Amino acid sequence: MQSGIEGGIEGGIESCIESGILMRLGVLIPAAGYSRRFMGDKRLASVGGEPMLAATLARVQRALAAFPASVMRVVIRARDPLVEHLLAQRGVARVHAPPWPVGIGASIAAGSEALLRADPGLDVIVVVPADLPYMRPDSLSALLRQSRRGAITVPAYLGEPGEVVAVGAEFFADLRSLSVRHGVKKLLRSHGAGVRYQPVEDSTLIRSIDSPADLQAATEPDPAGRNCEVPRRDRHAALAVREE
């Protein structure tokens, strides 16, 4: 029989993990793609006067304030001096994607390996696309608190899945062995029973910037998220973590 003290300790630990205090969290931002649909390097496109990648990073860092035991890596191209400089200015560690083969799966696998070298005891690795510059930090933080070692957690807004994917430790082997052109979507297909769709109250975790028109149409959401409408094209797109 479990003593009252032991039960209280275990309950306290579980509470701390759920609140993020003890969760060992790795954040992976794939940013090695070539933005073909954007017709330019969208990582450096201006969003509110700063590069899009910098805007996304700032929001992720604000969300991670609730997770002191966290580590972050950004995957960039094999030769990427401008973005490397941008990351160095902000004290963000980078990982170079392999020069060959090139693809989203190769980038995620390389980034996952780097995160696990930095902290082999990670509970969750969350993959955050680099093109979510209007993401609300509180929405991301709330999603991360719902992530678990034994699940793949995906945000869902009005029933539509988002592109941020939190992969629990039980699935790390799959994450590290992704094939070149298959991203996290492959894990969702392979481990359907382990996927948890977590409802979120705004669309900022699914509203990526894929084209100049997306960037022009995007507006900073208000605190209540009332003007976060997602174009129908995005709502009905297949869930994927893109690296374009």
| 78 inside domain | yes
pLDDT tens sequence for the chain (244 residues):
555 544 443 444 344 445 455 799 999 999 998 888 898 999 999 999 999 999 999 999 999 999 998 999 999 999 999 999 999 999 999 999 988 777 888 899 999 999 999 999 999 999 999 999 999 999 999 999 999 999 999 999 998 999 899 999 999 999 988 876 677 877 888 888 999 999 998 888 988 898 888 888 875 454 444 444 444 333 334 344 344 4
List the domain range (segments joined by +) for residue 179. Answer: 23-235
| 168 inside domain | yes
Here the CATH number for the domain that contains residue 174 is: 3.90.550.10
Non-local (6+) Cβ contacts of 83 within 8 A are 31, 43, 44, 53, 76, 77, 94
| 135 inside domain | yes
Which residue has 């149409």 as its token pair?
217
Number of independent structural domains in the chain: 1
| 3 inside domain | no
0.85 exceeded by pTM: no
